[in-house]
Amino acid sequence: MKPITLRVLDGADRGRIFENLHAPISIGREEGNSIQLNDERVSRFHLKIQQDHEELVLTDLQSTNGTKVNNEEVQLRILRHGDMISLGRSTIVFGTRSQINHRMDQLGQSGGGKQEVVRKISSDVSVNNWQEDPNYQLALLEIDPPRLPERLSPGQAAQLSELLEYLQIHFRRVLSEVEVDPRNQRVELNREEWQRVIDLHARVAEYLKAIGQPE
């Protein structure tokens, strides 16, 4: 695994750059962390970044105020260059400028048309604006959607297949009930199916919490 670079873009430690780091890395307010932040809203040991085969995995250590990646609450997350990590009042970007620019180039070549959203990362200007952009997370995910986990046992693979099938069946039912009005370029969904979408969203959130905070 190549050395890791983390840059603090916002917060009391703004401007600090941590280079040539190697996993595992811990970030928190207390001495003894790989990166110690001067931020009272950061927990003593807030999060860790560890290597799992070729991936870097961020884990929130049950911090008081939580951790966000690209403005989304997370407990577990595979990191990619350009990801924004928010903890307390601090914002940290993962990757060197060249690594982030490489990812931006890939995004531009994909034809997604969202590279300007990601381009804000490469400078320390407008760091607050990206948090207000609801498409930021989607722009970064557009070129590299999550991959299925490897090295699953047969039982784990069956559980994952069952979970995805459950979601797919319910979404298929919702989509079958959608009515399209071509005159107004609108789609309509009855209240019962809309409630089903809300329930599915809540269930996925529960799954994410259970995976990130196993008993």
Helix, strand, coil percentages for the chain (3-state, nearest 5): 35, 25, 40
Contacts of 88 (CB under 8 A, 6+ apart): 11, 37, 39, 40, 41, 42, 46, 65
Write down the pLDDT at residue 73.
87
Cite the beta strand spans of 61-142 per DSSP E. 67-69, 72-74, 76-78, 84-87, 90-94
Write down the pLDDT at residue 141.
55
31-47 core/surface letters (b: 16 or more CB in 10 A; e: else): eebbbbbebeebbebbb
Structure token pair of residue 9: 């873009």
Per run of 10 residues, the mean pLDDT along the chain (length 215 residues) is: 87 91 95 95 96 90 92 88 90 86 64 47 47 55 68 86 90 88 86 89 86 70
Residue 211: C-alpha distances to residues 42, 59, 84, 214 (Å): 22, 11, 21, 6
Paired residues of 84 in beta bridges: 93
* Alpha-helical regions (H) of 61-190: 97-109, 115-119, 136-141, 154-176
CA-to-CA distance for 173 and 170, rounded, in angstroms? 5
Write down the pLDDT at residue 129.
54
CB 58 within 8 A of CB 73: no
Tell me the torsion sign for CA atoms 125, 128, 131, 135.
negative
Contacts of 16 (CB under 8 A, 6+ apart): 7, 8
Write down the pLDDT at residue 72.
84
Residue 84 corresponds to which amino acid?
M
Structure token pair of residue 90: 């601090």
Write down the pLDDT at residue 115.
46
Side-chain-side CA neighbours of 16 within 13 Å: the count stands at: 14
Write down the pLDDT at residue 125.
39
